[in-house]
Amino acid sequence: MQRSKLELYEEILYALVKRHMTVDAIAYACNMDCVALRQRLEFLMQNGLVEERNFKKITCYALTRRGLAIFKTLALTKRLEKLQTTMKKIDEALQTIPSLSEYSKEKVKRQRRNKNY
């Protein structure tokens, strides 16, 4: 399945969170074509999320403070969505389990039946 632009941007930001990287390293980490990656990096640089750094004739890319803040926000949003779906599943599972009051009523009924015999 093809990834959306947002997913591609997220992957690039995730790759750059740990350390600065070259285009080839980012492409390998994100499983992307270098040409498409350069376009995505240009967009991220235009919006102030990624910056270009030169180290001994090697061009590397790193996150800016703004890029790190955006990444943390996206990561938090993902965690909250995952938590929300987990809570829905737990809520559905709890609805199938009888409540304690129903369990207590059943227990009382069984005790009465046993006394009658």
Rounded Cα gap, residues 100 and 37, in angstroms: 57
Q: How confident is the model at residue 115 (pLDDT cuts 50, 70, 90)?
A: low
CA distance 106 to 92: 22
- CATH code for the domain in which residue 48 is found: 1.10.10.10
Residue 43 lies in a domain: yes
In a domain, 55, yes or no: yes
Orientation angle between helical segments 65-96 and 5-18, nearest 10 degrees: 110
Q: Is the pLDDT of residue 117 over 80?
A: no
| Residue 115 covered by a domain | no
Q: Name the domain count of the chain.
A: 1
Q: Residue 52 pLDDT more than 60?
A: yes
Domain holding 38, by residue range, is 5-66
